[in-house]
Amino acid sequence: MKRLAVLFVCFVSVVVCSGCLDDIEEATLDLPEDGIEAPKGLSVRVDDGVVILSWRPEQNVEKYLVYRAVEGVLEMRKVAEVPDTVYIDTDVRNGQVYYYAVSVLTTSGIEGERSDAVEAVPTIYAVMINAGELYTGSDVVALELTAPLTTALMKIGNDQSLADGVWEVYGQTRTWRLEAGDGDGLKEVYAVFRDDNGSISPTVSDGIILDTYARIVDVSFTPEPYEYSPGTTVHFILSVEDDEEGGEAWIQLTGFPDRIDLADDGRGGDTDTTDGIYEIDYRFPVHTRGLDLVVSGHFTDRTGNVAPVFESANTISFTDPPDPVYLVGVDDSTTDRITIRWEMSLDDYFASYRIYRDTLQGITELPGEQLPHSRLLVRELTSQTQTTYPDGGLVEGETYYYRVYVMNDLLEAAGSNELTAHTYDAIPNPVVLDPISSIGTDRLTLTWSINGNTDFKEYRIYRSTAPGVTEGSLLVATETDREKTFFDDTGLNTATTDYYYRVFVYDRSDKFSRSNEVSTAD
C-alpha cells in the first residue's frame, strides 16, 4: 500500500454516509484555508474486508474529515467525520484499491489542508511495510502481515522466488531487513502463508523506497549583481540530487538571525510544484546590512537524512551607502592653516568623516575603490556633529583642494564636492644680518638668522660700496637652502674700500623682505 503521490482534484461538502458506495454524495468545491496544516502521520492497515486509518492528533480540532477515492476515479469524496484519530472503514471489497486523505475541521468551523493520500487494498492475505509509508531511511523495517485465523506458518523474502525464505510461525508483526546491496531505490518484500492443512496462499508483496542519504547540488540566487539595497526581494534556489521531493530546505546567511525556508509547492516564488527544486522570493527587512555574507543551503529529506551544508559560489551584500555632505567653504585662513566647514551627515549608520587634501585639483577615488589614495588623507573624525576642521602645518601662499568623505559602519563612502582654499600669503619675515666679524684684506664672511616662512624660496645677498643697499644694488649671491645662513664674499679690497650688505628673503610668490644693513665701515 502506498501514499498516492499525485495531485487529486479535491472537492469538499457535507456527506451522508449510509454504509455503501452508492450513497456517497459528491462534494462541492471548497479550497482549504491557508495556514491550517493537514494531519500528520497518516497510516493505514488492512484486513479481511476492512481498512483502518490512524493519524497524530492536532490542536483546536472540532473533528476530522475523512475522504476516499476508488482506483480509476480521481474525485475524492468525504466518507466520514470523526472526533478521534482512528477511522475504520468496513464498506470496502477485498482486492479493490482505495485512496484516503484526512483534513482538520477547527473549532471555528474552518477546514484545513488535506493530507497526502495513502493507498489501501483490503485482502485476506497481505504484507505491509512501515504502515504503508512510501519511503524509509533505514533498511530495517516493520512488517504487518494479514492472514486468516487458520494460518499457521509464513515465509518472507526479498525476492519473488522466496528461495532464501524459511517457514516460520505466523505472526502479525515482524522486523525485517531489506535487501540493500544495490543501494537506494525501490525495495520489495514478498510473503506466502500456509494453514493447518498445508494449503499455501498466493504470494503477496509490498514495496518501499529506501533513501539513506541526501545531497545538495547547488545553491543560487538572483538578481545579479549580488549587492542589494535594504528591503530588496531576493529569489533563492536550492537543488538536490535526483530532484528529491518532500524534503525541508532552507537558507542561512552569516550574521543574519533568521532561517529562510524554501518551498516546493508552487507558492512563495517556487516556479513548479513538487519538482524537487526548492525556491522562495524572500524580501529582506530594511535593517538588513552586511558585506560579502556567505549563503549556505541546508536540506533534510523526507526520510530525515541531513545533507552536508552547501555554500553558494557567490556571497551576498546589503549595502546602503551614506549621502554625501556639502563642503560649504573656508571659515578661516592663515599663513599655515585653513579651517574648512561642511554640512553635518544625517546618516543613521554614520561612522566617521575622512578629510582628504591635495595640492592638485581633482581629488578622485582610486579605480575600483570608494576612496582616494591614503596619502591624501589628512584626518578621520568620528564625531558626527563636528563639521569644521582646522588643517594646520600648511605652506604659506599655497592653494589646496579638499573633499570630505562620509563613512558608514560597512566602510561605504560618499564624497563631497571639492573645495579650493588658499593659505594667506604674507610678506616674508626679514632675517637679521649679523655684524661683520671676519674680515680679510680681500674677503669677508656674512652670517644671518634663519627664515621660518613655509613658502620660503631663497636668500638674495646684495652689496654696495655706499650706504643704502636696495634690490637695485649688485646681487652677489642667491641661496635656496633655507638652512645655509652664511656667505663668503671674495675678490674684495677691504683696505681701501668700504662695503655695505643686505640679505633679502623671497617667498614663492616673489614677495620679499629686507634685512638690516651692515658694512665693513662699522
- Kindly indicate the confidence band of residue 22, based on its pLDDT and cuts at 50, 70 and 90: very low
> 12 pLDDT band (50/70/90 cuts)?
very low
Domains along the chain with CATH numbers: 3-120 (2.60.40.10), 126-210 (2.60.40.10), 217-295 (no CATH), 327-422 (2.60.40.10), 438-519 (2.60.40.10)
- Separation of alpha carbons 455 and 457, rounded Å: 6
Residue 3 has pLDDT above 80, yes or no: no
How confident is the model over 1-17, as a mean pLDDT?
A: 31
Residue with the three cell numbers 499457521: 152
pLDDT at 62 over 70: yes
Mean pLDDT, residues 77-89 taken together? 94
% of the chain with per-residue pLDDT over 70: 93
Given a cut of 80, whether residue 23 has pLDDT beyond it is no
Q: How high does pLDDT run on average in the chain?
A: 89
pLDDT band at 29 (very low <50, low <70, confident <90, very high): very low
User: 144-184 pLDDT, tens per residue?
Assistant: 999 988 899 999 999 999 998 999 999 999 999 998 777 89
Residue 6 vs residue 25, higher pLDDT:
25
**Given the C-alpha cell 470496502, which residue does it identify?**
92
Ramachandran region, residue 96 (left: φ > 0; alpha: ψ -120 to 50; beta: rest): beta
Q: How high is the pLDDT of residue 368?
A: 86
* Res 236 pLDDT > 70: yes
34: confidence class by pLDDT, cuts 50, 70, 90: low
Residue 35 has pLDDT above 80, yes or no: no
Percent of the chain topping pLDDT 90: 72
Grid coordinates representing 265 are 509547492
Name the least confident of 17-31, 90-104, 118-132, 354-368. 17-31
C-alpha of 360 from chain center: 41
Instruction: List alpha helices for 275-424, DSSP H.
Output: none
CB 79 within 8 A of CB 17: yes
- Average pLDDT in the 496-503 region? 96
Rounded mean pLDDT of 403-415? 95
For strands 260-261 and 350-358, give the pairing. unpaired
Q: Above 70 in pLDDT, residue 25?
A: no
Helix, strand or coil for residue 130? helix
Q: Which of 181-185, 252-256, 486-490, 492-496 has the lowest mean pLDDT?
A: 181-185
Quick: pLDDT tens for 445-469: 999 999 999 889 999 999 999 999 9
Global model pTM greater than 0.75: no
Above 60 in pLDDT, residue 24? Answer: no
Burial class (CB in 10 A: 0-12, 13-18, 19+), 418: middle
pLDDT value of position 294: 96
Q: Tell me which H or E stretch contains 4.
A: strand 3-4
Cβ-based neighbours of 86, under 8 Å, separated by 6 or more = 52, 53, 54
Other CB atoms within a 10 A radius of the CB of residue 420 amount to 11
Check: CB of residue 494 under 8 Å from CB of residue 439: yes
pLDDT value at position 191?
96
Q: Is the pLDDT at 378 greater than 90, yes or no?
A: yes
Report how far residue 36's alpha carbon sits from residue 82's, in angstroms, rounded to the nearest whole number: 18
Helix (H, G, I), strand (E, B) or coil at 397: coil
Checking if the pLDDT of 30 tops 70, the result is no
Q: Which residue has the higher pLDDT, 221 or 23?
A: 221
d(CA 197, CA 189): 25
